[in-house]
Structures are given as C-alpha cells and as structure tokens.
Amino acid sequence: MDTEITLLVDGERHPLVVDTRTTLLDALRERLRITSPKKGCDHGQCGACTVLVDGRRVNSCLVLAVTVDDAEVTTSDGLAAEGEHPLHRAFLDNDAFQCGYCTPGQVCSAAGVLAEAKAGWPSTVTDDLTAEDVDLTDDEIRDRMSGNLCRCAAYAHIVPAVAAVAEAEGVRR
C-alpha cells in the first residue's frame, strides 16, 4: 500500500512514495542510494544497518520507513558536518576493520554509545547504577557495542578506536 513520506537524511530532504512494508534500511539503500547502512542479518541481530534516528542509534532494518517521516536520520556519512568524524579517524588510526562491511554500523553505534555515556546512562556491566558519570572502560565499550557484530573479528581494534574518542570527549578516565 503506497504512502507518501519525506525522509530527512544527513540534512537533506527526500520526498518519497513507499510501500508501507519498506524498512528504513531498504528506503535508504534502494530508493535513495544511500548505501553506508548495510544489510547484514535484516533481523536486528548484527547491527550493520545501525543509523541514528533523532540522535539515537537504532537498527534501521526493523524500523518501517513510514514511522520516521518526521524524524532526522543520520548515517555514518552524515556524522560530521563535513569531512571525517573523530570516530572515522579513530577507526582508521586503530585499523579497526578488515572487510569494512560492518564499519558504518559500528561507527554509528559508537556515536550512540558516546552520546549515551555523556547522558550518564549505565550499562549491564556498570557496578554503581546510581553513579553520575560514566567511565567507558574496555568492558563498558564491549558491552555497549555488543549489538554490532564483526565477522572479521576486528573487535580487538574496535575497542581501542572507540576508547580513543571516548577519552578525547571526556567519558573515559
């Protein structure tokens, strides 16, 4: 059933007519040709499709496009107003990928992790639930990034990449 929507992606408006069954991921990739969000499992398990919706990380494969026609969508491409985002640089500097397929999702998820840490959100490995500040230790990063799989298993480099930006942004001691 066709429905008119407008997607706001990385600062650009895209009027579209979509079948109600279309996910945000498919709308981005197949209609708008914005291909940095990747289709891995298509069931919310791998995180390759992670984008930010109104600043919050979500699995775009489980979001129907019709539900976000009034929201701001940010992909890895749009994280920085121009050029590279500190997370992009940190992933390069730390060699935090091999094939790169999961990387845009990892980067968007990491951007979400940093924002959540700045807001003081705890995780399942946080000892003191009532603490004001979050310290993104390696264990915290591993838990918070656990919704993003990397089949090349670059985890050992992804953790220090996220840690480097966390430290620069004051959420890692």
Partner 1 sequence: MREFRYERATDAASAVALLAAEPEGAFLGGGTNLVDLMKLGVATPDLLVDVRRLTSAEVTDLPDGGLRIGAAVPNADLAADRRVRERFPVLSQALLAGASGQLRNRATTGGNLLQRTRCGYFTDVTRPCNKRSPGSGCGALEGVHRNHAILGQTLEGPGTCVATHPSDMAVALTALDAVVRVLGPDGEREVPIVELHRLPGDDASRDTTLRHGELITAIDLPALGMPSRYRKVRDRASFAFALVSIAAAVQVTDGMVADVRLALGGVAHKPWRATAAEEALRGRPATEESFAAAAEAELAAATPLRDNGFKVPLARNLVVRTLLQLTEGSR
Which residues share a beta bridge with 64?
A: 23
Q: How far is the CB of 77 from partner 1 (least distance, A)?
A: 18
CA–CA separation, 103 and 122 (whole Å): 24
Structure tokens at 136: 């993104």
Q: How far is the CB of 142 from partner 1 (least distance, A)?
A: 7
Site membership for partner 1, residue 130 (CB under 8 A) = yes
Task: Tell me, by CB under 8 A, how many residues bind partner 1.
Answer: 41
Site membership for partner 1, residue 81 (CB under 8 A) = no
Site membership for partner 1, residue 119 (CB under 8 A) = yes
Site membership for partner 1, residue 6 (CB under 8 A) = no
Site membership for partner 1, residue 116 (CB under 8 A) = yes
CA–CA separation, 34 and 164 (whole Å): 28
CA distances from 102 to 37, 97, 99, 113 (A): 9, 8, 8, 16
Site membership for partner 1, residue 72 (CB under 8 A) = no
User: Applying CB under 8 A, which part among 48-56, 76-84, 89-97, 156-164 lies near partner 1?
Assistant: 48-56
Site membership for partner 1, residue 127 (CB under 8 A) = no
Q: SS3 for 171?
A: coil
Q: Angle at CA 168, nearest 5°, toward 165 and 169? A: 85
Site membership for partner 1, residue 144 (CB under 8 A) = yes
- Do residues 115 and 131 touch, judged by C-beta distance below 8 A? no
